[in-house]
Amino acid sequence: MESAPQGSGILRHEALERGWTPPADSDPESLEAIDRHISQYFGEPATVWHEMASDLVHIDVHMIEPTPQRPFVTLVTSGMSDLPMNVPAEAGVSPYAELMIALPPDWPLTADAWKDECHYWPVRLLKSVARLPHEYGTWIGQWHSVPNGDPAEPYAPGVPFTGVVVTPMVNSAPEARTIVTPSGKQIALLALVPLHPGELELKLTHGTGALIEALDRVRVTEHLDPARPSGA
């Protein structure tokens, strides 16, 4: 894992007072750039799961099947970057982002399997974190973490993770971390790493540096291992 900026904390925000808001219009140029980027660095998607109903932004999930070079299922969002995040000027990062996570190659991906939250939760996590900055008028960036509720609870029965941290991808080319449109719009592509309760607490009490050391101890990357031990 990489070093973290100062102040990379746990995000806790109050929801904005609003009703349902129609999703922003998608930018065709950005969508084409995201499609090209996914194909170049991860492979041609086998399918794209489209949202049937959307609030604020329309979040789709692209699924790339395992290959000998990338022996895991890769999921990448598109639509989060239809709206800019509320990034403070001093952060020095793009207000546009998309998210990814990699699942074991045998992860159940059928509609029937997804009726079980134990199989669907990574997809739900991608969608909820992608929508979070727009719902709360905030932003997410590298080493921000988000607990699953307050108090934090497991994402599904039997799942050991109760929160997530946003990280740079470490098992892809450095160029894969940024999507650039023809007009120069830069979209950060960030990874989601689910956290054990102790890891979430470690970040809260001892900071991002301590969490990075803990994750390095157990060799955590953006490739989800549901059975991995806690580094805390």
Give yes or no for a contact between 64 and 74, defined as CB atoms under 8 angstroms apart: yes
- Cα 126 from Cα 76, distance rounded (Å): 8
With tokens 């065709």, the residue in question is 28
Give yes or no for a contact between 60 and 48, defined as CB atoms under 8 angstroms apart: yes
Nearest partner of 134 among 55, 194, 190, 60, judged by Cα: 55
pLDDT in tens, 54-81: 767 889 999 999 999 899 999 999 999 9
For the entire predicted model, the pTM comes to 0.91
- Cα 83 from Cα 85, distance rounded (Å): 7
For residue 198, pLDDT over 70 is answered with: yes
User: Mean pLDDT lowest for which of 4-8, 42-46, 90-94, 100-104?
Assistant: 4-8
- Cα 82 from Cα 72, distance rounded (Å): 28
The alpha carbon of 225 is separated from its chain's Cα centroid by a whole number of angstroms, namely: 15
Indicate the pLDDT class of residue 120, thresholds 50, 70 and 90: very high
Query: For 74-207, where are the alpha helices, taking DSSP H only?
Result: 117-136, 197-206
With tokens 């971390």, the residue in question is 177
Cβ burial, residue 114 (10 Å; 0-12/13-18/19+)? middle
Q: Show Cβ contacts of residue 19 under 8 Å, excluding neighbours closer than 6 positions.
A: none
In terms of phi and psi (left: phi > 0; alpha: psi -120 to 50; beta: otherwise), the region of 200 is alpha
Higher pLDDT pick, 14 / 212: 212
pLDDT in tens, 131-172: 999 988 999 999 999 999 989 999 999 999 999 999 999 999
Indicate the pLDDT class of residue 112, thresholds 50, 70 and 90: very high
pLDDT at 2: 44
For residue 53, pLDDT over 90 is answered with: no
Give yes or no for a contact between 196 and 165, defined as CB atoms under 8 angstroms apart: no
pLDDT in tens, 214-232: 999 999 999 999 999 999 9
pLDDT in tens, 3-45: 344 335 555 555 555 565 766 677 889 999 999 999 999 999 9
pLDDT at 63: 97
Indicate the pLDDT class of residue 52, thresholds 50, 70 and 90: confident
